[in-house]
């Protein structure tokens, strides 16, 4: 951590992820290198299957990298939109209680904030394994906002729910938390252009940083069409 520059929230060095046996496995990506400032807005762009969700899970500590280094100097969220961090046999309420204890927060305060945002009502009493993907995402989003993080890892969550819920997501993330960092994977180029200043384009196991978001989107659209 101490090796990071004061403005750097995240440094990724020589990051590689391979599935399968060493030497014969399938590389998802190899030797990724990039940094995100403390208030940076980085988009992850790439066609389906190029490793965007895998990278977000690695950054969030859900998956281990095959090799490389991840150095955080700020507090990252878990991957919003990924429900694997929940204990499926427990209810939404019990998962909230567990997260509250894990982060040393008052359960009732966190519960009130999650209830107010996720709007799951009595469904919070159900085991999370019976939740739809949308319900799990609402719970994850609500808890991420209730705990508060310095950097939010977002994987298409804002596409969840009806238009009103999506607008609330946008307001909470991009207006009320305008001073936070974001790393966001999305196929919504309007959202990317509106809220991201840089992009990491992943293609064929390699990645390139673009400081011009319009250029990154143009490259991504060309790759999609090819």
Asked if pLDDT for residue 139 goes beyond 50, the answer is: yes
Per-residue pLDDT, 200: 95
List CB contacts of 69: < 8 A, sequence separation 6 or more: 11, 12, 13, 14, 15
Q: Where are the alpha helices (DSSP H) in the chain?
A: 52-59, 92-102, 107-118, 133-147, 163-170, 189-195, 213-225
The residue among 3 and 159 whose pLDDT is bigger is: 159
Per-residue pLDDT, 159: 57
Per-residue pLDDT, 78: 84
The residue among 145 and 197 whose pLDDT is bigger is: 197
From residue 58, how far is each of 77, 164, 165, 197 by CA, in Å?
Answer: 12, 31, 27, 22
Average pLDDT over residues 130-151: 86
Pairwise CA distance, residues 193 & 171, whole Å: 16
Per-residue pLDDT, 158: 55
Asked if pLDDT for residue 2 goes beyond 60, the answer is: no
Lowest mean per-residue pLDDT among 11-15, 43-47, 85-89, 221-225: 85-89
Average pLDDT over residues 205-226: 93
Residue % of the chain over a pLDDT of 70? 91
Average pLDDT over residues 147-173: 79
């Amino acid at each position: 951590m101490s090796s990071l520059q004061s403005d750097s929230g995240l440094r990724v060095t020589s990051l590689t992820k391979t599935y399968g046996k060493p030497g014969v496995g399938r590389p998802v990506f190899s030797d990724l290198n990039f940094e995100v400032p403390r208030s940076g807005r980085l988009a992850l762009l790439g066609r389906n299957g190029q490793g965007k969700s895998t990278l977000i899970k690695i950054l969030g500590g859900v998956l281990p990298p095959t090799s490389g280094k991840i150095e955080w100097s700020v507090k990252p969220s878990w991957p919003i939109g990924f429900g694997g961090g929940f204990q499926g046999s427990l209810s939404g309420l019990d998962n909230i209680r567990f997260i509250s204890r894990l982060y040393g927060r008052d359960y009732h305060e966190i519960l009130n904030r999650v209830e107010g945002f996720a709007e799951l009502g009595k469904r919070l009493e159900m085991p999370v394994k019976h939740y739809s993907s949308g319900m799990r995402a609402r719970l994850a989003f609500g808890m991420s906002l209730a705990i508060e993080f310095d950097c939010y890892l977002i994987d298409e969550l804002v596409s969840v729910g009806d238009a009103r819920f999506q607008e609330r997501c946008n307001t909470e993330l991009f207006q009320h938390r305008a001073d936070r960092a974001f790393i966001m994977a999305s196929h919504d180029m309007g959202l990317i252009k509106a809220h991201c200043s840089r992009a990491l384009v992943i293609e064929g196991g390699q990645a390139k940083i673009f400081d011009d978001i319009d250029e990154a989107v143009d490259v991504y659209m060309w790759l999609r069409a090819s």
